[in-house]
Chain A
Amino acid sequence: MIELKDLSKRYISKNKYGKKLRVDALKQLSLTLVSDTSYALVGESGSGKSTLARILACVERPTSGEIWFDGKNVAAMRSKALRLKRKEFQMVLQNAQSSLDPRLRIYDSIAEPIRCLTQTSRSDERKMILEIAEKVQLPEALLERFPHELSGGQQKRACIARAMSVSPKFIVFDESVTGLDVTLRKQILDLILQLNRDGRLSMFLFITHNIDVALYMADNIFVMKDGSVIEQLENAASYGDFRHDYSRMLIESLPPRSPLHR
């Protein structure tokens, strides 16, 4: 179970005159994510959803607030303890190609969390990686290739395999299908759902700007605007379940299904 309490994040930048500009990316945000449940988060660009993802994955620390992960406040942990804690939560970044080291073979990229976070012998590690590669439908022959030799979909699968290699309790997918073409997008989404049904990926948060995708991926949906969660739905099944004005507006700005609805 993950509980976020009064989470705030403020970025300070400078304008061209050197004057400080404060940007509140998250404002006093509180959320509870229950184990073994899948969640989706929708919001426009700039609503703070990526910041929330980075804070949930603990690559950034909140300005204030607490993140309780199974009874421990991760936000206050020391860096070293936090690093080992990453075994339990992982994140899949938006851009698959750039999130793989161009000079590492896919196998080594997938093996990295296992090597850094667990004490596993090389032979067990190989077994684990082959198994996870099969799960994400990545042929074994591709594992010895370099990232640029893979297609976009294969790179994405490799990234998902890497995040799952240490069997984390929780995975954040940050805009993970943005920029993929529609058929590929469907494949990746179905893969994540399949892994979820198999019990390999019991708890995840899928962050997207696309309300269709959010509905497809999870029953529990958060809608975010200007750094706060403005609507929280359980068992959402259709557009009709969204009540908040802003959510209605997001739905209304979707392109029509056919020219008849124009």
Chain B
Amino acid sequence: MNKALLKNKQILIGLALILFVSTIAVFAPLIAPNDPNKIDALNKFLSAKGEYPLGTDQLGRCVFSRLIFGARYSLGIAVPTLLALGTMGLAFGTAAAYIGGRLERVFLIVCDIFMAFPPLIIVLSLVGALGQGLEIILAAVIFSMWVWYAKVIRTYAGIERAKDYILASKIAGCSGLRIVSRHIIPNILPQCIVIVSTGIAALILMVSSFSFLGLGFEAGTPEWGAMLNQARSSFYSHPRLVIYPGLCILLTSAGFNLFGEALRDVISPEEASE
């Protein structure tokens, strides 16, 4: 399977993009030529030259440095959130599928209730009730999205659970916890990795769109969505301020999407046609 992964061009392109963005995020302070938050009122809307590789924005801040630090925010939010979503999904999904019966039906009803609310509504109401803040955005995203992962994982786990080897391991004396952790989870893990890696792109877009709406980040944070929002007012005079962060969002989410979808084609080809 590893060979098949390395032969797939789409995976390689996706992986290269992901590595590129991650490297930038990790080494942001070394790469960025200027302090992303340094305001230089005299040098507003400079075009690209020497000291400022991509020019400056409406407050005279270095656009290039801001974009580079922005990678930290996008990945730093999306990856941990997704890990949390994946873990919760695995825990609840496999438990519901394994226990089955009435509990599983209750779980599905709860899922349907959660899924009936668009995430934006939940985030807006939570931010409205609890106030601004990064943690609140994260909590709101996890709160509104976990059912989507749990429900899909429950379906996969349910398919595995019906297989003979689960019955056989029950006869072999495995406890429920052992069946879930040693048999069900290892067997659905490839599918879960696919769901999670395709989900990252959507999550990056989601976080960016929240910060575009002014939710979550303090003013001045070099987050791509927030940068887009601030550049909006000078869109006609300086469109490049909108284009650069937009391109960054596009490239990052394209990287994860390409990778995730190609991974799905390799791991579970039967779903690729959907």
Contacts and interface: CB of A to CB of B under 8 A. Distances in A.
B171 A98 contact: no
A82 B36 CA distance: 64
Question: 5 nearest interchain CB pairs?
Answer: A116-B173, A99-B168, A98-B164, A117-B173, A113-B172
A116 B165 contact: no
Contacts of A90: 171-172
Interface stretch (A23-31, A100-108, A124-132, A191-199): A100-108
Contacts of A102: 165, 187
A120 to B, nearest CB: 13
Interface string A74-114: 00000000011011001101010011111110000000110
A204 B85 CA distance: 48
Contacts of B170: 59
A203 interface: no
Contacts of B171: 57, 59, 86, 90-91, 93, 163
A52 to B, nearest CB: 15
Nearest to B189: A103
Contact of B187 (A87, A101, A117): A101
A100 B168 contact: yes
B203 to A, nearest CB: 29
24 contacts: A59-B167, A59-B171, A83-B173, A86-B171, A87-B173, A90-B171, A93-B167, A98-B163, A98-B164, A98-B165, A99-B168, A100-B165, A100-B168, A101-B165, A102-B187, A103-B186, A112-B169, A112-B173, A113-B172, A116-B173, A116-B174, A116-B178, A117-B173, A166-B173
A116 B172 contact: yes
Interface residues of B, number: 16
Given A101-B187, A103-B187, A116-B178, A86 B173 contact: yes
A223 B187 CA distance: 39
B268 interface: no
A86 B164 contact: no
B101 to A, nearest CB: 13
Given A101-B187, A103-B186, A103-B187, A112 B167 contact: no
Contacts of B178: 116
A125 to B, nearest CB: 14
Interface in B182-201: 183, 186-187
Interface of A: 57, 59, 83-84, 86-87, 90-91, 93, 95, 98-104, 112-113, 116-117, 159, 162-163, 166
Contacts of A87: 173
Nearest to A112: B172
A59 B175 CA distance: 13
Contact of A101 (B173, B175, B183): B183
Nearest to B175: A83
Given A93-B168, A95-B164, A84 B173 contact: yes
Given A83-B175, A86-B172, A162-B172, A93 B186 contact: no
B161 to A, nearest CB: 13
A171 B174 CA distance: 17
A103 B1 CA distance: 14
B164 A93 contact: yes
Given A59-B170, A112-B169, A99 B164 contact: yes
Nearest to A89: B171
Nearest to A98: B164
A53 to B, nearest CB: 11
Nearest to B169: A112
A4 B253 CA distance: 63
A112 B182 CA distance: 11
